[in-house]
Structure 1
Amino acid sequence: MNPQDMHTTPELNHLTLGFVPLLDAALLVIAREQGFFSEQGVEVSLSRENAWSTLRDKVAAGLLDGAQMLSPMPLAMSLGLERAPCDALAPITLSRNGNAIVLSEPLCQQSGAAMGSDPADSARAVGAWLGKHSGPHRPRLAMVYPFSCQHYLLREWLSLGGIDPDRDVELIVLPPPRMVAALSEGQIDGFCAGEPWGSLAAHQGVGQLVASGAQLWPDHPEKVLGVTRSWAHHYPATLAALIRALVAASDWLADSPENRHQALEWLALPPYLDRSVSHLDTLPLDVTPIHQRLFGPGILRPDVDAMGRIAEQLDRSLRHLDRALDIPTLHECYAPVHFDAAMHQ
């Protein structure tokens, strides 16, 4: 018996999901290439989007059925931050951890900042250097999206060094695929982004990792599958099929090192991450200091409590707008109800 015969037939038999070229798009790529989506009765096309704002707007407009999203994005969309409100949900977590804070080689050499067991050490080194070299040029640091773990992690790391993110440095937004080139060309002095961009900067000799998201916020939800609430309401069986396929992809990835090598080969295909992963010999999962987690007990099931630090940061953004975080919306965005229904938990 086919797996789809055991469940309600998906309302849609073909759909398109968006992704941004990062290692934690892996479960979407595996589910397509290994046939887990097909086994659940849906044919999925994956659409590469280089900017998170483009991906967000395409999901909101219905041009994409859903997408890999930054974990704060469904809540930010629902609250109408930076665009008209669009109720969105995160019915499954796709990854935890995975971010790196990278500084340019010149800044590392001048400040003495280096990766260590305590991320505060590198932040203090930069803070001390800034205290002695204040001038018209503030270091320019990039993050991927205003409402992102990358932004919040970067601000928290800076604060550990006594650096005011709004006064002592310039924070800008860049798409993840632009980070390494911008660092190499001197347009930025550092960035916070997901893999493989941090390790690629180090491999090319244009930057050094000085801290990781796993050090600052251990096991934080990083990427999720995002869909609009309306889409989830109209296509519940299709959503359940997607969730089961992604869980199967995670289980397959956990099964053997050979599978992880195969996953890296798929990620290296031109439609996905292409040459940006050519420096990797293997898919570096749960390796120090990044600790990217795509499988394991409880990794994929949505967890409102795990969103606590992210919710605090969003609440801070809202208070600047004389608003407060809507707790019922937070719980609706990250409730495990769809995941549990799909997995019969």
Structure 2
Amino acid sequence: MGTNDAATPPPERERVTLGFIPLLDAVLLVVAREKGLFADQGLDVNLSRENAWSTLRDKLAAGLLDGAHLLAPLPLAMSLGLGRAPCDTLAPATLSRNGNALVLSTALCERSGAAFDDDPAASARALAAWLAASPRQRRPRLAMVYPYSCQHFLLRDWLACGGLAPERDLDLVALPPPRMVAALREGQIDGFCVGEPWGSLAQHDGVGRIVASGAQLWPEHPEKVLGVTRPWAHRYPGTLAALLRALQAASDWLAESPAHRRQARDWLALPPYLDRSVSHLETLPLAEAPIHQRLFGGDLLCPDLAALGRIADAVASQAGQPLNRKTLEACYTPVHYQAALHR
């Protein structure tokens, strides 16, 4: 067994399975496993790669996973029963901020003149002007990853900057992140909003161009969280605390040096994780323009209720139902993190 603070109970179970989607912001889970930080806390953690958020959601709710790397809005949507039967879900840690790219196909960028600009509205206005002036055989089709996701909300906000409404001007579809680049290449979609590395991969491969980023539209928004069901958290408080300590250690380790971030990129490139989808990256690109992804620093892992409020408002708007503050606080309470790390 590994180290444990006497003020918190030891892990109630040694073997834990955590689900993840192949994205750069699963890196804290990967680092904690590959560097032995989970093992230091007395945990034998298996990381289960899933390709769709709906699959991850359902496996977590069914108890097939102990926890998961989740979209920040998903614990709230699950608790409210949006998209499936209600499942009381918590997000005791934030795993990343920012990290999303809005991408249009290279052909659409060339036709419309949409390009990346310091003002994200510029590319949206260019697209809108082209749509208004150009006859088309079909409406453009843009993809996001899940209805209750920051990617969906960011995409709608970006389109609104150009006066575009999805229901009127184009079609929105949901696709798993690993499918985005291939779907763009094959002409099934004309653009997407997704987390890294898929946006930069589309640009590297020449099939798409980044025209805006989530960091421009919602600066420092929480993007991914650790998710567990409330019954699981109540049954295994010591195990949850051990997970949180290991993830904090992974974040601290990433912050220590560029060499650690290069090593993290190499771990992500292993076949069980992101494999060849990160081969275009020389290192783990953190806090770099235009994505400005943040995977460590300060109290990143501690749930930030103020920052999550905007996400909660977007969930409520999408669902067409009001949301009270108590529901938000119940899903994203920082008490588990604070207890585990004594902060």
TM over 0.5: yes
**Are the equivalent residues in 1 in contact too, given 2:52–2:177 (CA < 8 A)?**
yes
Counting aligned pairs with the same residue, the percent is 68
- Whole-angstrom distance in 1 between the partners of 2:107 and 2:248: 43
Per the TM alignment, residue 4 of structure 1 is displaced from its structure 2 partner at its CA by: 2.2
In the alignment, what sits opposite 2:335? 337
Per the TM alignment, residue 304 of structure 1 is displaced from its structure 2 partner at its CA by: 1.1
In the alignment, what sits opposite 2:234? 233
Q: Amino acid of the residue matched to residue 175 of structure 1?
A: P
TM-score normalised to structure 2 length: 0.98
In the alignment, what sits opposite 2:31? 30
Any residues of structure 2 matched to 1:61-72 within 5 Å, and which?
61-72=62-73
**Are the equivalent residues in 2 in contact too, given 1:80–1:86 (CA < 8 A)?**
yes
The alignment partner of 1:44 has SS state of strand
Query: Quick check: 1:142 aligned with 2:143?
Result: yes
Query: Quick check: 1:278 aligned with 2:283?
Result: no
The alignment partner of 2:69 has SS state of strand
- Whole-angstrom distance in 1 between the partners of 2:113 and 2:5: 60
- Whole-angstrom distance in 1 between the partners of 2:4 and 2:309: 35
In the alignment, what sits opposite 2:179? 178
Any residues of structure 2 matched to 1:271-310 within 5 Å, and which?
271-310=272-311
TM-score normalised to structure 1 length: 0.97
**Are the equivalent residues in 2 in contact too, given 1:89–1:228 (CA < 8 A)?**
yes
The alignment partner of 1:223 has SS state of strand
**Are the equivalent residues in 2 in contact too, given 1:140–1:189 (CA < 8 A)?**
yes
Per the TM alignment, residue 135 of structure 1 is displaced from its structure 2 partner at its CA by: 3.8
Q: Amino acid of the residue matched to residue 241 of structure 1?
A: A
In the alignment, what sits opposite 1:200? 201
- Whole-angstrom distance in 2 between the partners of 1:190 and 1:144: 12
**Are the equivalent residues in 2 in contact too, given 1:318–1:325 (CA < 8 A)?**
no
CA distance 1:219–1:5, change in 2 (3 Å): closer
In the alignment, what sits opposite 1:48? 49
Which stretch of the first structure deviates more once superposed, 323-332 or 223-232? Answer: 323-332
The alignment partner of 2:12 has SS state of coil
Unaligned regions of 5+ residues in structure 2, if any? none
**Are the equivalent residues in 1 in contact too, given 2:4–2:10 (CA < 8 A)?**
yes
Per the TM alignment, residue 315 of structure 1 is displaced from its structure 2 partner at its CA by: 1.2
- Whole-angstrom distance in 1 between the partners of 2:153 and 2:135: 24
Q: Amino acid of the residue matched to residue 337 of structure 1?
A: V
In the alignment, what sits opposite 2:4? 4
- Whole-angstrom distance in 1 between the partners of 2:4 and 2:336: 17
Unaligned regions of 5+ residues in structure 1, if any? none
- Whole-angstrom distance in 2 between the partners of 1:298 and 1:239: 18
Misfit runs of 4+, over 6 Å? none
Which stretch of the first structure deviates more once superposed, 327-336 or 9-18? Answer: 327-336
- Whole-angstrom distance in 1 between the partners of 2:260 and 2:340: 25
The alignment partner of 1:266 has SS state of helix
1:280-301: CA deviation from partner (whole Å, max 9, x where unpaired): 0010000001011011112111
1:99-156: CA deviation from partner (whole Å, max 9, x where unpaired): 0000001100000000111100000000110111254511100000000000000000
Per the TM alignment, residue 8 of structure 1 is displaced from its structure 2 partner at its CA by: 2.0
Per the TM alignment, residue 5 of structure 1 is displaced from its structure 2 partner at its CA by: 5.9
Which stretch of the first structure deviates more once superposed, 294-303 or 148-157? Answer: 294-303
- Whole-angstrom distance in 1 between the partners of 2:335 and 2:116: 40
**Are the equivalent residues in 2 in contact too, given 1:244–1:342 (CA < 8 A)?**
yes
In the alignment, what sits opposite 1:217? 218
- Whole-angstrom distance in 2 between the partners of 1:42 and 1:246: 12
The alignment partner of 2:227 has SS state of strand
The alignment partner of 1:167 has SS state of helix
